[in-house]
Structure 1
Amino acid sequence: MEYLDLVTLQNAIKEGLNDLFPESVWVMAEIAAVQTRMNGHCYLDLVQSENGRQLAKVKAVIWKSMYPMLRGFFKTATGKELEVGQQILVKAEINYSELYGLSLIIEDINPEFTVGDAELKKQQTIKQLQEEGMMDRQQELELATIPYRLAVISAPDAAGFGDFKRHLTENQYGFYFEVDLFPATMQGESAPESIADALGQVEAAGGYDALLILRGGGSNLDLACFDDYGLALAIAQCGIPVFTAIGHDKDYHVADMVAYRFVKTPTALADEFIQMYMAEDERISSLGARLGRAFAAKIQQRLSALDELDRRIKAADPRAVLKRGYTLAVDSNGRVIKTVKTIKTGDKITIMLSDGTIKTKVELIEKT
């Protein structure tokens, strides 16, 4: 019976691989693990998956002689370190060791591929949320007229949060806001879950008028967590109006799309809330002015009516009539004589003039 010893078998595999791949090749894979050792080498586990199931896995290494250069090149282009979950395209030498098996020695990396893969995942997330009817769900919520109790999700030491709180609380109008921070990781693979957990904490606490997600900007890949499906779904399903301000000038992330409203920067968001207060303040001031004018007009109307009544009373005063040359006759009982039928010859009457009275006796009555 013919057989091969293990070394011979391993050597044959090695020679076969060398013949099949005499030069380095470009390989596409996902980073499953990455670690930089004390010796300066960077070790990676690369995988290919489908529907959550791993189809292939291989060890890879970037020697310390190449790692600083490739790391800097990748970070400059993407704004991010090599991280778990990234799809990468690397140029690698196929290496086979009789003791350690197959591995890849990475010589070069294409950062544009990683950025492009992130955009593809973003579009897939948008499509899924649209199919589930989640893209406009936040728009069904009603924002308080004066949203003063605000829950903020951010990193405690983030410059964006500091800028927001300072700009909001030091506003020149003296408007008061209550701001509570719910800390979360704002970048990296753990960020989506951390932010989603904070969303749940805010809802559980209750009583907030608005929920704000703040970050002070970053590179495209730094902000890639805001394209995560799980985070976007948590925002869409939140029962509180969610505002996003993650500091990007050009890109529009999925978290922004599903939020109640998005603003580019935390400072701009602070201005947004101050403007809400100003609009309500102006509305109340305008209403007060209108009420004042209406009240003044009503008072003037009443005063005019009183003046007219006073004029009519004065005009009806017998003394005013007498001053115009008329006289008033009264009988001995003080009753006004309106007709000659009420008196007879010999009755004593009093004739009232504007400047005195005349006492007289009736001597003759002539009817007209």
Structure 2
Amino acid sequence: MRSPDDYSSDQGGSPPRQILTPSSLNRLVRDLLEDALPLIWIEGELSNVARPASGHLYFTLKDAGAQVRCAMFRPKSGWLKFRPADGMHVLIRARVGLYEPRGEFQLVAEHMEPAGEGALQREFEQLKARLDAEGLFDPARKRALPHYARRIGVITSPTGAAIRDVLSVMSRRWPLAEVDVLPVPVQGREAPPAIVQMLRKASASGRYDVLLLTRGGGSLEDLWAFNDEQVARAIHASAVPVVSAVGHEIDFSIADFVADLRAPTPSAAAELLVPDAHALRRHLYQLQQRLVTLEQRRLQSRIQRVDQLLARLQAQRPQARLARDRERLMHLHHRMRGLQREQAQRRRAALDRVHARLLAQHPRLRLMLLRRQLTGLSQQLRQSIERRLERDRLTLQQTGRALHAISPLATLDRGYAILFDADGKVVRSAQNVPEGSSLRARLADGELKLRSE
């Protein structure tokens, strides 16, 4: 910045005089203002708002006692999230300056926001940072919601659209839940203490499995009751889980950060709190079908196992062992008789040789020997026929026992039955029998006529 001495000249040793031109004066004043007030925040009402084709924004900021000319140049004027209009109360961050060509005092704005919303937003951010530092937003302290809540307390306005959406969704998805509407005002000065009192009362009652704090959409001022510090601390102190569903999906409140779960809308909160009865019914039906299939497989496996054990038991029972020992004894007996026959044959052969020698000497004696030999052969033939018949009888008995072991009639003796349809065919599956069909059950001691249902 130039000093005032730069604008003076030395004339013949006389005291220096400060000689300024309008341009130099305005430039000096501009430099002084910019050095003294580099950046300020100022609040006031807009008037004379103009936006020419250049894209710059010109307006006057005033209050009850004064006004000041302002300008906001591109591109910052294009970054505004709202459209400035006469009468709006705004908060501006600006540099103090002077428009040199006209010598007019003015502000050059760099940022502009609605005054009320900006103050609330700053208060919101400060409270959020403070509660976050205290650990009220810590994810580790958030509790899981019950899978099947029996009683749900809904803290909201009883006449708002939010409670109608919540009740509609819950009655459609899970009619078994008991839903209590806990009425409170949801905006205005009386809303925060009423919400705090209702949260404490509902938590202390021990009646509810979960609490839902909700309201419909609105401006930041409308939702401000849910940014109250006492409301946040009451949610944090609740003995039961708290779900927060305040405003629309883009709206966030302090209650959302403190609650155990944040839902984007009241309807979404209702869907998160209760299951879908239709989906649960389908899931239970699928589980039932899987259980029936598994039980059928287990039963079939058990039946096969029992049959195998029964076959082994029959093979190892005393009657079977006695039969095997009897067969072995018969085999040894046959071998012994075979040896006896061989010995007898050898003796007879020796006798025959002796008889042959004697017969050669006397014809009458030979005739007697031949008669005796014929009698012995007759006895041997008869005995051979009896032994053959005995072997055939034993073989027939063994075959009969084997056939009886694998016969369906033996299964019937154990308490089972065989089902036949009207055509005499064996029924192997319940799915092949229409309702009302005539059936016939074959039991061990007779038959029964049945009808399917």
Q: TM-score, normalised by structure 2?
A: 0.47
Structure 1 counterpart of 2:50:
none
The CA deviation at 1:140 is 3.7
* Structure of higher CA gyration radius: 2
Q: Secondary structure at the match of 2:249?
A: coil
**Cα distance, 1:27 vs structure 2:** 8.3
Q: Are 1:154 and 1:186, in contact at CA under 8 Å, matched by a contact in 2?
A: yes
| Deviation at residue 294 of structure 1 after TM alignment | 3.0
User: Could you say which residue in structure 2 is the equivalent of 1:91?
Assistant: 63
1:164–1:116 CA distance, 2 compared to 1 (3 A): same
**What letter matches 2:394 in structure 1?**
L
| Alpha-carbon distance in 2 for matches of 1:255, 1:317 | 79
Give the structure 2 partner of residue 213 of structure 1: 213
Instruction: Return the alpha-carbon distance in structure 2 between the equivalents of residues 143 and 336 of structure 1.
Output: 80
Partner of 1:298: 298
1:253 deviation in Å? 1.1
Q: Deviations over 1:330-356 (max 9, x none)?
A: 7xxxx96463399888x9996533547
Task: Please name the residue that 2:258 is paired with.
Answer: 258
Corresponding letter in the other structure for 1:131: A
SS in 2 for 1:156: coil
C-alpha change, 1:187 and 1:279, in structure 2 (3 Å) is same
User: When the two structures are aligned, how many residues end up with a matched partner?
Assistant: 250
Pick from 103, 128, 131 the counterpart of residue 130 of structure 2.
128
Contact kept in structure 2, 1:156 and 1:183, CA below 8 Å: yes
Task: Describe the superposition over 1:22-78 as per-residue Cα deviations: whole angstroms up to 9, x where unpaired.
Answer: xxxx9869xxxxxxxxxxxxxxxxxxxxxxxxxxxxxxxxxxxxxxxxxxxxxxxxx
> Structure 2 matches for 1:59-208, cutoff 5 A?
91-93=63-65, 110=89, 112-136=114-138, 139-171=141-173, 175-208=175-208
Partner amino acid, structure 2, of 1:152 = V
Look up the match of 1:233: 233
Question: In the alignment, is the contact (CA less than 8 A) between 1:155 and 1:161 conserved in 2?
Answer: yes
Q: Structure 1: give runs of 5+ residues left out of the alignment.
A: 1-25, 30-88, 95-106, 321-325, 358-368
For residues 214 and 238 of structure 1, the distance between their equivalents in structure 2, rounded to whole angstroms, comes to 16
- For residues 2-41 of structure 1, what are the alpha-carbon distances to aligned partners after superposition, in whole Å with 9 as ceiling and x for unaligned? xxxxxxxxxxxxxxxxxxxxxxxx9869xxxxxxxxxxxx
- The separation in 2 between residues aligned to 1:110 and 1:151, in whole angstroms, is 40
Deviation, 1:316, is 8.2
Distance 1:276 1:90, change over 3 A: farther
Local SS of the residue matching 2:182: strand
| Cα gap change, 1:327 to 1:294, in 2 (>3 Å) | closer
1-structure distance, mates of 2:244, 2:397: 91
Give the Cα–Cα distance (whole angstroms) in 1 for the partners of residues 62 and 233 of structure 2: 33
Structure with bigger strand share is: 1
- Asked if 1:269 is matched to 2:269, the reply is yes
- RMSD (Å) for aligned C-alpha atoms: 4.3
Answer yes or no: is the 8 Å Cα contact 2:256–2:262 preserved in 1: yes
Cα distance in structure 2, aligned partners of 1:256 and 1:299: 54
Match of 1:340 in 2: 333
Q: Which has the higher helix share?
A: 2
Q: Distance in 2 between matches of 1:355 and 1:250?
A: 93
AA aligned to 1:239 is: A
Q: CA deviation at 1:183?
A: 1.0
CA contact (8 A) 1:27 1:92 kept: no
Task: With the length of structure 1 as denominator, give the TM-score of the two structures.
Answer: 0.56
Query: Does the 8 Å CA contact 2:153/2:208 hold for their aligned counterparts?
Result: yes
The separation in 1 between residues aligned to 2:169 and 2:305, in whole angstroms, is 54
Contact 1:90 1:108 in 2 (8 A): no
Partner of residue 353, structure 1: 394
Q: Distance in 2 between matches of 1:203 and 1:319?
A: 77
Aligned partners of 2:155 and 2:182 also within 8 Å: yes
Q: 1:222 — aligned with what?
A: 222
Structure 2 alignment gaps of length 5 or more: 1-40, 45-60, 67-85, 91-113, 341-382, 399-453
Q: Could you tell me how far 1:176 is from its partner in structure 2? A: 1.3
> 1:295-314: CA deviations, max 9, x gaps?
22221211222333455577
Q: What is the rounded CA distance, in whole Å, between the counterparts of 1:327 and 1:255 in structure 2?
A: 88
CA distance in 2, matches of 1:109, 1:240: 44
**Conservation of the 8 A alpha-carbon contact between 2:145 and 2:273:** no
Q: Distance in 2 between matches of 1:265 and 1:212?
A: 11
Does the 8 A contact of 2:142 with 2:259 survive in 1?
A: no
Query: Distance in 2 between the 1:140 and 1:249 partners?
Result: 21
Question: In the alignment, residue 339 of structure 1 is paired with which amino acid?
Answer: L
Percent identity among equivalent residues?
29
